[in-house]
Chains A and B, each alone.
Chain A
Amino acid sequence: MSASANARLGEQIWQKMPKINAEFFTLTYGAMVVQLMRDLEDVQLVNEKLEKMGHSIGCRLIDEFLAKSGINNCNEFAETADVIAKVAFKMFLGVSVEVASWNDEKTSCSLLVYDNPLTDFVELPPNINLYYSNVLCGVIRGALEMVQLRVECYFVRDTLRGDDVNEIRLELKEHIKDEMAEEYRRE
């Protein structure tokens, strides 16, 4: 599917998706992050926790995504990245994301998120190594794991830290092989 077709599809599904109040959503997420900071007292742990929470969201969200989008198969990783950027981000967050900076092997790229609804109103306390929106990385990793792609996903630039754009690096590590349950291995 071509890039612009994905953008159209994303727009189309976005129209049909149920919406919630953006402030409610942003405040809920903010309250959760702040609570995590209080409970864990270590920013690095908070980053990891957010990623983990994202991972379990992603594992579920993938089915919602496949069901609503009708997409069932991507031939190559470049297509996957484009679908995430143009369809998935649009569908769940209402924003469009750009794919950029591919490496030569076409296994890693950057997702440029110009408008991150999670960070409306947010101002980080000074000198803090928090990746506020790290949940997004987890969601992407979890969702792709369910379609047999092992990826690493991390923030490179973050507008909350003064960068001009949010950049999430997405690196394909391997295609996961099907692994059968116990009962098939006995034979």
Chain B
Amino acid sequence: MSQFSDPDATGPMAQGVAIFGEFVENAQGVTATVAVIGKKNEPLYLRLFDEYQTKELYFQSLVFVSLDVIDECVERKAMQQDMYLGFLCPIDEYQIYGYMTNSMIKFVVVLADVHRLQDFELRDFFQKVHAAYVEYLLNPFAPLDGDKIKSARFDAAIERHVATILERPPPAPGPGAKA
């Protein structure tokens, strides 16, 4: 039924939105969710941003759906030494990008269609998040057995990278653009 939802709809949610097609109103940011998934596909970290926070379950399910795509993607890219998996799939009005380390830790972002991001920007973002994750693991108190990531420093790093790389203001709007 989600296919009936209209990505351009601006009206209240009741309009043509069902099971999956959850539309978030007034969303400003491009980044809806950043997630870290462990080796055994256990969720290690799920972070929702701004208005998207109201739909936690929905975005959580998006991330899990994307894991299947990652599996396929990995098979396809098995021969390549690239951790950046790129664009995984579109679901509803969102786009999902992925990155997987050699230790099978998956990083997933769900992006809204607010502005287009280039591949190199996402690559850069994932690399920095990966580095933040490594730094988190270097904390001797960090649990190694797949517990959820609870770290103010990791939170701050994610926020910083989201703000500086993903949420950059769209390049100078054309003269015709209306506010």
Prevailing SS type, chain B contact patch = loop
Complex-state Cα separation, A48 to B5, whole angstroms? 64
Q: Which residue of B lies closest to A32 (CB)?
A: B140
Q: Which residues of B contact A30 (CB under 8 A)?
A: 138-141
Q: A182: CB under 8 A from chain B?
A: no
- Interface-forming stretch among A85-93, A121-129, A168-176? A121-129
B69 CB to closest chain A CB, in angstroms?
33
How many contacting A-B pairs (Cβ < 8 A)?
29
Complex-state Cα separation, A27 to B140, whole angstroms? 7
A and B contact pairs by CB, cutoff 8 A, 27 listed: A23-B138, A26-B138, A27-B138, A27-B140, A29-B140, A30-B138, A30-B139, A30-B141, A31-B140, A33-B140, A34-B140, A34-B141, A120-B138, A121-B135, A121-B138, A121-B139, A121-B140, A122-B139, A122-B140, A122-B141, A123-B139, A123-B141, A123-B142, A123-B152, A123-B153, A124-B141, A125-B141
Which size class do B's interface residues fall under?
under 10
Q: Which of A13-50 contact B (CB under 8 A)?
A: 23, 26-27, 29-31, 33-34
B139 CB to closest chain A CB, in angstroms?
5
Q: Which residues of A contact B138 (CB under 8 A)?
A: 23, 26-27, 30, 120-121
Q: Which residue of A lies closest to B142 (CB)?
A: A123
Complex-state Cα separation, A29 to B141, whole angstroms? 12
Q: Which residues of A contact B135 (CB under 8 A)?
A: 121
Q: B164: CB under 8 A from chain A?
A: no
A160 CB to closest chain B CB, in angstroms?
10
Q: Which residues of A contact B141 (CB under 8 A)?
A: 30, 34, 122-125
Q: B3: CB under 8 A from chain A?
A: no
Q: Which residues of B contact A26 (CB under 8 A)?
A: 138
Q: Which residue of B lies closest to A126 (CB)?
A: B150
Q: B15: CB under 8 A from chain A?
A: no
